[in-house]
């Protein structure tokens, strides 16, 4: 490997790329990483971390309203979008510095410029420098999809939403996946009029139907409007800077901001992978084997750029596994069963394992369903009558818990522990044998009969 400039060259300094770089360096490899934007990647810079901070900020509207029912008098409440926005962006700066320090502390060289593949063992930087490496890891992530319709240049994506100069009064969100539902909840809580438009009739595809239905009911009661089966046809900018949006066969909708959240596509355009004999999939993804190896034996790929699960913890596990496999003397791969996921909508939902529909198909209908439909204690004094819903999907033959699905306050925090139980293959009887922690919402998980 001394014949190469580096043992490992990573393209993309997001969660997967940084983890792979750090672990490979800890194994003694000479490592470099190239990042054309900011170190930290989508999750840290313009994704789950700043978005979760916006969720926290928007929650105070609800908490302050409920405070009066608990004896607190809060007068003169006002909200300043600029303060929240700038506070979030400062934390992004802090995290980028922390990620950079991690690379430095592990003696990983980093180039702040675009890199493209020029062969099985070579890359070229935007500055023109060519670098060789025994192995190349592609970890460039994905990019928001912008649908093709007249006026789409007036729209924004999740990349730009964190930099809005002011809080819009009217927001249209196109899409009904987790990104769309999270931002719809944020803007709704901050007092914006929110309309969700979707080309199909399904929201949060892949999540259990009971949770989707409950979230729809609650968010509609909170004032979010939905227009299903309504693809956007045209966006026109008005003299005052506002937008007029034509959807489906309905009357045009006025808006101040139109956020496109219709999915993400692997960011592989122009990456030069064909020079190494790698053919992309139909969606632009890089096909890989169980060890994240591409069609070229010296090039690997992890994270959202592949056709596997697009979640930050998955990218981290994949990057770690590649580093261990190549330089740690241990063949390691990532397991994709019982992967927990959450939507930080308002209220949030969280899931792990099989949905009821998936279980009935896989087990020929031989499943048992247990539910707990309850009003969270914190809502009892509030004016909201929102109810939480927990659901267990159980294999009737073995009694093994196949899936857990939850909607209600703090569901993602609760689910992480439950995911361990599902991953371990625990049975419903073992859930039932666990003593409840009272009073808590989590106790509902061991009280379903």
> Which tokens in the block code for residue 394?
């159980």
- Is 339 part of a structural domain of the chain? no
Among the candidates 295, 327, 359, a domain finishes at 327
pTM summary value: 0.94
Backbone angles phi, psi at 210, to 5 degrees: -65, -40
Q: Name the helix (H) or strand (E) containing 31.
A: strand 31-34
Provide CB contacts within 8 A for 110, sequence distance 6+: 13, 32, 33, 34, 35, 39, 100, 103
Ranges of the chain with pLDDT below 50: none
Whether residues 381 and 432 share a domain: the answer is yes
Are 19 and 136 members of one domain?
yes
In a domain, 162, yes or no: yes
Does residue 341 belong to any structural domain of this protein?
Answer: no
* Residue 355: inside a domain: yes
240-290: pLDDT as tens digits: 999 999 998 888 999 999 999 999 999 999 999 999 999 999 999 999 999
Position 107 in a domain: yes
Per residue in 132-166, pLDDT (tens digit) is 999 999 999 999 999 999 999 999 999 999 999 99
163 is catalytic: no
Is-contact 150 315, C-beta < 8 A? no
Active-site pick, 163, 320, 405, 438: 438
Query: Do residues 230 and 176 make contact, with C-beta atoms less than 8 angstroms apart?
Result: no
Q: Is there a domain that residue 335 lies in? A: no
For residue 66, is it within any domain? yes
Give me the pLDDT at residue 331, please: 93
């Amino acid at each position: 490997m001394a014949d190469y400039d580096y043992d490992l060259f990573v393209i993309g300094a997001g969660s997967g790329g940084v983890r792979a770089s750090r672990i490979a360096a800890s194994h003694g490899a000479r490592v470099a990483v190239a990042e054309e934007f900011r170190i930290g990647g989508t999750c840290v810079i313009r994704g789950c971390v700043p978005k979760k901070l916006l969720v926290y900020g928007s929650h105070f509207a609800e908490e302050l309203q409920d405070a009066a029912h608990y004896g607190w008098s809060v007068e003169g409440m006002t909200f300043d979008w600029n303060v929240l926005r700038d506070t979030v962006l400062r934390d992004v700066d802090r995290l980028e510095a922390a990620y950079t320090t991690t690379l430095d502390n592990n003696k990983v060289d980093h180039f702040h410029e675009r890199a493209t593949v020029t062969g099985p063992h070579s890359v070229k930087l935007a500055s023109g420098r060519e670098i060789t490496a025994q192995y190349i890891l592609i970890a460039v992530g994905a990019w928001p999809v912008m649908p093709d319709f007249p006026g789409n240049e007036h729209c924004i994506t999740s990349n730009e939403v964190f930099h809005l100069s002011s809080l819009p009064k009217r927001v249209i969100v196109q899409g009904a996946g987790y990104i769309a539902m999270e931002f719809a909840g944020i803007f709704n809580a901050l007092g914006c009029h929110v309309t969700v438009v979707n080309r199909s009739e399904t929201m949060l595809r892949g999540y259990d139907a009971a949770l989707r239905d409950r979230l729809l009911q609650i968010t509609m009661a909170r004032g979010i409007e939905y227009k299903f089966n309504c693809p956007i046809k045209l966006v026109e900018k008005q003299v005052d800077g506002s937008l007029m949006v034509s959807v489906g066969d309905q009357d045009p909708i006025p808006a101040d901001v139109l956020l496109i959240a219709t999915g993400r596509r692997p960011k592989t355009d122009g990456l030069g992978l064909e020079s190494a004999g790698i053919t992309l999939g139909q969606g632009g993804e890089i096909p890989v084997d169980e060890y994240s190896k591409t069609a070229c034996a010296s090039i690997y790929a992890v994270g959202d750029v592949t056709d596997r699960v697009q979640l930050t913890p998955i990218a981290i596990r994949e990057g770690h596994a590649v580093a261990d496999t190549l330089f740690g003397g241990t063949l390691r791969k990532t397991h994709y069963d019982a992967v927990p996921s959450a939507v930080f909508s308002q209220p949030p939902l969280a899931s792990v394992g099989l949905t009821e529909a998936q279980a009935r198909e896989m087990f020929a209908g031989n499943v048992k369903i247990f539910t707990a439909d309850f009003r969270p204690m914190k809502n009892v004094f509030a004016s909201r009558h929102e109810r939480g819903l927990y659901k267990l999907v159980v294999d009737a033959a073995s009694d093994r818990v196949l899936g857990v699905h939850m909607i209600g306050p703090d569901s993602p925090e609760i689910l992480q522990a439950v995911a361990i139980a599902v991953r371990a293959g625990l049975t419903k009887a073992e859930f039932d044998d666990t003593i409840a922690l009272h009073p808590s919402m989590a106790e509902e998980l061991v009280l379903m009969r």
